[in-house]
Amino acid sequence: MQALSSCSLANPETRVLRITFPGAQPDAQPNRTARALGDLSPAAVVSPSPSPSYSPYPYPSASSSPYPYPTYSPTPAPSSLSEFTCYGIEVSGPSIPADPRFNCTNSADGISKLGGLVPVSGGVLEIEVPAGPARVVRVFALKNAIGCPSLDTYFSTPDEGGQDLGDPYLIAQATTDLFEDVELVLRAKYDPANPQRLFDSCESPHSPSSSPTPYPSYSPYPYPSYSPYPYPSYSPTPYPSPSYTPALYMIPDYNTLPVSSGVNIQVYNGVYPYTYSIVSGSGTLSPADYSVYFNASATAGDVTVRVTDSVGATFDTVLHVIIPMTLSAPNKIAVNRTAQITPSGGIPPYSFSIFSGGGSIDGSGNYTASLTPGMVEIEVWDTVGSYQKHYLSVYVPLLAVGQYHACAQTFAGVHCWGAGSQGQLGDGFAANSSYPSLVSGIPAEIHGLTAGQNHSCAMAAGGVYCWGENAYGQLGNGSNTNSSYGIEIIPMWNGVTAIDAGQFHTCMIQNGSAYCWGQGGSGRLGNNSGVDSSVPVQVQGLTSGVTAISAGGNHSCAVMNGGAYCWGLNTSGQLGTGTFTSSVIPVPVSGLSSGVKDISAGISHSCATLTDGSVKCWGANSYGQLGDGTTTMSLSPVAVSPATPSQFLSTGANSTCASTGSGVQCWGYNNAGQLGDGTTTDRSLPTSVTGLGSIFGLGAGAAYACALSDNQVMCWGDNLMGQLGKGDYTGTLTPMPVSGLSL
């Protein structure tokens, strides 16, 4: 019996091991199946040739003498396959869980994976097995005449409701790395000393055909001399027993191993003692009685180990010694970005596949993330079946710009920078920082981030976390105590899809409903009250269908069922109702009852993005922050001119910014260069920000702005508190990268 050859596939998951017996239809894809070829019917059993007829003549007839001649008839051939009813197959090996239903005689590790039942008259055994190395394949014959029923009913013990199949007999065995379906040939050989072991050779289909060991011819001549009176006692010369030695073979625990490691190789059959040698390749051997331990050298390559028994029979096995495969790849990547997975070691060429998670990967290891965050499991295989897994976390890059501080989620985690006297940076301190500081107390990955005047909040899978100033309860944890690190608001809120921090209050969307907490003056919480709340309260009337929400200076706005609503202070027309009347509950924005996609509330003005990408603004306009070419206040929405399609929209204190297909445009107050056009000139019409690429996030603060552009976080404008994050306190009229952060 010899180990089968192996190779790898690009997408190794499971393999169907199929053994076709006589009478089965030929498979449509023979190169993708494993078969036992040849006739396995009872006629295929090689039995001794019948003995020649024996007659003692010329002897006197038995009747002529009172002494009867001894009766002689050759010993009948022992049992053959006619005693068996069914074939079964089992496969064991690494990563295959044991099947507790059945244990076979002489199988030390029992049945790991059992499949099929087919009558000896013909059929197909089929079993699905996880791809992998060192699969031990065994074929059994079963004697109980039960008609070969299903495994679910009968491969169990009688007390479990099954039927006893009788003793199973191992008739063939092979070991293979099952990365591709293999072909199996069984050769019939009869062993009178062990009549149940009917098939003792397993070969590759390209090996030379094996033939049964010939049995010695028998001739009873010369007969003993005969004298009838008195008859001599007669004892025929014993017939010599047929001599058969099972084929020599050996099986390594596994065929592929790293350099400078080792593997045990077990030897079976043949005639003991054995000698061992390395035919090709390098390494050393440590022999034992019935096994040999191979010690690989530091050189990769195939090694052929040979066993020779005492009568000169040999068997070779090939071991693949490899440099262990390693992977060079990032552990984290932003959505819709590309990462290179670079393998080394093993035996190239390599194949790449995504075992779980989204995205795509090509044959060169270039992985492209999908738009869905989560964990991705990538497998890389070499040509001999060695593989490595790599886990890649796909995250959403996030940007939040407050009045004087900013935060971002990037490759390195969640960081904040700028003003920090109230703990709004979340780094455990209460001090400003011109460098990004890692936020503590929140999960490693979040899916929402916002910054207000002196506090910040994040959404994670487990709930909402806030940190910073809490004088009005804007952290939402039931107290008025500041926190310099993230704390989970009480109670824990799941199902949150959006959150926004205003000047001294916070709003969010949970399961389509709007909630706000913090300072309640002017009715900015929208719960028909002007009272502060340190826990979330329901916004009146916005109980379902809410898709966007924004907390401004003294007012708030939301989108519900495609229509815009605002509530709170309205001294500058920031509610967009056509009046100056404030409201403690949401009121519809004039002319925006449908078709609204997003909304943003500033200090005293508001803007909305429509489903067609156009932008409309209303409220204060002293610096041109409405973008309509004037500096005239508007109590109802006016169109930003020109009507440039927008993806991201943000209102600052007295300025507004929106992303377009060609970059970012800003308009309004520009005293500190917050419009990013290289000047300090106010603009009542959109002006392009210089030096930006593709935009993934945007935010406007008191007198500065930031954007996620290509692989960097870029900021521009005022830097008095270090809010540009570039390591100093000097402002800039054009975008500059935040120090140490990349996407």
pLDDT in tens, 642-668: 766 788 999 999 999 999 877 899 999
pLDDT for residue 455 is more than 90: yes
Report the pLDDT value the prediction gives residue 87, as an integer from 0 to 100: 64
The mean pLDDT value for 16-35 works out to: 35
Give the model's confidence band at 143: pLDDT under 50 very low, under 70 low, under 90 confident, else very high: low
pLDDT digits (tens, 9 = 90+) for 273-294: 999 999 999 999 999 989 999 9
Range from 67-76, 455-464, 672-681 carrying the lowest mean pLDDT: 67-76
User: Is pLDDT above 50 for 213?
Assistant: no
Strand partners, 606: 601, 618
Contacts 24+ apart (CB under 8 A), 287-294: 290/266, 291/264, 291/265, 291/266, 291/267, 292/250, 292/264, 292/265, 292/267, 293/262, 293/263, 293/264, 293/265, 294/252, 294/262, 294/263, 294/264, 294/265, 294/319
The predicted pLDDT at position 387 comes to 85
Go through 220-247 and write b for each residue having 16 or more CB atoms within 10 A of its CB, e for each that does not: beeeeeeeeeeeeeeeeeeeeebebebb
Res. 548: pLDDT tops 80: yes
Residue 97 has a pLDDT of 55
The answer on pLDDT for 50 being more than 60 is no
Helices (H), 266-400: none
User: Do the Cβ atoms of 417 and 408 come closer than 8 Å?
Assistant: no
**For 199-208, 281-290, 499-508, 513-522, which range has the lowest pLDDT when averaged over its residues?**
199-208
- Is residue 551 predicted with pLDDT exceeding 60? yes
229-252: average pLDDT: 61
Question: For residue 83, what pLDDT is reported?
Answer: 55
What's the confidence (pLDDT) of residue 177? 65
Question: How far is residue 636's CA from residue 573's CA, in Å, rounded to a whole number?
Answer: 7
Q: Which range is least confidently modeled, 4-8, 160-164, 536-540, 596-600?
A: 4-8
Residue 612 above 50 pLDDT? yes
pLDDT at residue number 571:
97
Model pLDDT, residue 105? 35
> pTM value?
0.63
pLDDT at 239 exceeding the cut of 70: no
pLDDT in tens, 60-101: 333 333 333 333 222 222 334 445 566 667 776 665 655 444
From 333-347, 371-385, 486-500, 621-635, the region with the lowest mean pLDDT: 486-500
Q: Please give the average per-residue pLDDT across 224-230, as a whole number.
A: 44
**Percent of the chain whose predicted confidence (pLDDT) is above 90:** 57
78's CB contacts (< 8 A; 6+ apart) are 192, 195
What pLDDT shows up at residue 46? 29
Query: 159-196 burial, b if ≥16 CB within 10 A, otherwise e?
Result: eeebeebbebbbbbbbbbbbbbbbbbbbbbbbbeeeeb
User: What pLDDT is recorded for position 10?
Assistant: 24
Q: What is the pLDDT of residue 217?
A: 39
- Residue 411's pLDDT is what? 84
Residue 177 has, within 13 A of its CA and on its CB side, a CA count of 22
